[in-house]
């Protein structure tokens, strides 16, 4: 689900920097940086700022290394097997992301469907396992079932350093629920941007099933029809079929079923230019947390809402000022999110401490934690 904002994000960032004046932005950056609580947060934030301002991918690479992202594991694996033919097992979303960064160093995909991208050959699993091992190495991109493939590779003679199980790097922790965050048995959780309900399920896991209430805000009717079954058996849960904004209103959104593409489309000027296609425009209802929840003592707010985070935070001013809930807010959808989102939070309460973490192999999935 994408909000239509119009214009080019690069131009908007330039306008933002000019409007704020360079010294003002510099002082704001210093203040945000000073609130970061560990070296990983500082390194990620510094390199993310430089990447957003310059577009130079060397800063993105530095950020990925600071975050110990899956990119790092794949890069090291390829360098350690540079004399071998590298195959990617699985041509799903993760496999294609690996290919996007390492296409020149990969021989082909191993997948039930044959993928031939820009001259990259593809083979089926049956064909691959019937071939001689020779000088091959395998990157297992699968989210699920990778262990079985690793066992199969071991049984036919592959050494452990000749295959890489990437799931353990991609899923090394619970995104939005890091180990520097504490929970109580009375958490009231707001999941803004539900998609398939994965974050809500992770929240329940994080709290060991002990919480007071969950509010799930998601305007996509399709997502509700497809994914409500994933959470319907949870206790004390309310799925709100609205988006979050600074006030109650109706807004025009662009929707398509592929959420990865949706996120990339909202990143004009960050990782590339994407066209709005393969989906449809629709009008949705939006509300604010202050209006909808009133005096509810919210303890945790997570937001991944495709560039609407700033407006949604404006609509949660009273809740944040009164309750100081834990915040896990995506800050990668717009280039100026790195400044505007922390500033909004600091203006409400200056006693928040910040952490920042990055997940994935690209410019996607940078999360600001305020506790």
Q: What tens digit of pLDDT does each residue of 286-330 get?
A: 999 999 999 999 999 999 998 889 999 999 999 999 999 999 999
Question: Among 64, 126, 100, which Cα is nearest to 364's?
Answer: 64
Contact (Cβ atoms closer than 8 angstroms) between residue 309 and residue 329: yes
Name every residue whose Cβ is closer than 8 Å to that of residue 233 and which is 6 or more positions away in sequence.
none
Q: What's the mean pLDDT when you consider all of the chain?
A: 87
Query: To which H or E segment does residue 91 belong?
Result: none
**Strand spans (E) along 97-165:** 106-110, 121-123, 136-140, 163-165
Helix/strand/coil percent split, the chain, to 5: 40, 20, 40
**Strand spans (E) along 20-142:** 85-89, 106-110, 121-123, 136-140
Stretch among 6-20, 50-64, 150-164 having the lowest mean pLDDT = 6-20
Strands of the 188-192 sheet, one edge to the other: 237-240, 213-217, 188-192, 300-303, 326-330, 366-370, 354-358
- Cα dist. 205→96, 212, 234, 339 in Å? 29, 14, 12, 32
This prediction has a pTM of: 0.85
Q: Which residue has the higher pLDDT, 16 or 351?
A: 351
Q: How many angstroms separate the CA atoms of 43 and 41, rounded? A: 6
CA angle 73, 78, 82 (to 5 degrees): 155
Q: Is the predicted pLDDT of residue 19 greater than 60, yes or no?
A: yes
- The domains found in the chain, sorted by start residue, are 70-170 (3.40.50.720), 188-370 (3.40.50.150)
Phi/psi at 301 (5° precision): -125, 125
Q: Which residue has the higher pLDDT, 114 or 194?
A: 194
pLDDT, residue 64, reads 94
Strand pairing category for 163-165 and 136-140: parallel
Name every residue whose Cβ is closer than 8 Å to that of residue 342 and which is 6 or more positions away in sequence.
32, 35, 331, 354, 368, 370
Q: How many angstroms separate the CA atoms of 107 and 98, rounded? A: 12
Q: How many angstroms separate the CA atoms of 59 and 223, rounded? A: 35
Q: What tens digit of pLDDT does each residue of 157-193 get?
A: 999 999 999 998 887 778 999 999 999 999 999 999 9
Q: How many angstroms separate the CA atoms of 3 and 307, rounded? A: 7
Average pLDDT over residues 53-61: 90
Strand pairing category for 249-255 and 106-110: unpaired
Q: What tens digit of pLDDT does each residue of 336-348 get?
A: 899 999 999 999 9
Pseudo-torsion of CA 175, 359, 281, 13, nearest 10°? 120
Contact (Cβ atoms closer than 8 angstroms) between residue 125 and residue 110: yes
């Amino acid at each position: 689900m994408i909000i239509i904002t119009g214009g080019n994000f690069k131009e908007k960032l330039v306008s933002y920097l000019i409007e704020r004046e360079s010294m003002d932005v510099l002082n704001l950056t210093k203040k945000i940086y000073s609130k970061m609580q560990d070296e990983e947060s500082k390194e990620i934030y510094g390199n993310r700022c430089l990447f957003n301002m310059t577009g130079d991918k060397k800063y993105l690479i530095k950020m990925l290394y600071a975050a110990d992202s899956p990119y790092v594991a794949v890069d090291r694996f390829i360098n350690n097997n540079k004399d071998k033919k590298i195959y990617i097992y699985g041509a799903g979303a993760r496999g294609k992301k690996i290919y996007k960064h390492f296409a020149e160093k990969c021989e082909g995909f191993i997948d039930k469907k044959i993928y031939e991208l820009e001259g990259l050959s593809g083979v089926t699993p049956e064909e691959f396992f019937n071939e001689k091992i020779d000088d091959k190495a395998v990157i297992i991109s699968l989210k699920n079932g990778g262990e079985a493939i690793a066992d199969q590779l071991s049984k036919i003679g592959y050494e452990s350093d000749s295959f890489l199980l990437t799931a353990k790097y991609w899923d090394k922790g619970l995104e939005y629920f890091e180990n520097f965050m504490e929970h109580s048995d009375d958490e009231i959780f707001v999941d803004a941007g539900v998609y398939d309900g994965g974050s809500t399920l992770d929240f329940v896991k994080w709290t060991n099933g002990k919480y007071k209430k969950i509010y799930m805000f998601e305007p996509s009717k399709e997502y509700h029809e497809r994914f409500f079954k994933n959470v319907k058996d949870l206790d004390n849960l309310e799925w709100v079929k609205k988006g979050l904004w600074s006030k109650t209103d109706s807004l025009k959104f662009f929707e398509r079923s592929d959420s990865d593409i949706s996120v990339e489309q909202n990143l004009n000027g960050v990782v590339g230019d994407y066209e709005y296609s393969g989906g449809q425009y629709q009008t949705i209802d939006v509300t604010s947390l202050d209006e909808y929840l009133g005096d509810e003592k919210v303890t945790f707010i997570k937001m991944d809402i495709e560039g609407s985070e700033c407006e949604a935070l404006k609509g949660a001013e009273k809740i944040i000022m009164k309750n100081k809930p834990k915040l896990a807010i995506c800050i990668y959808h717009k280039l100026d999110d790195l400044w505007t989102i922390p500033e909004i939070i600091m203006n409400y309460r200056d006693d928040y401490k910040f952490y920042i973490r990055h997940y994935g192999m690209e410019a996607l999935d940078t999360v600001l934690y305020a506790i």
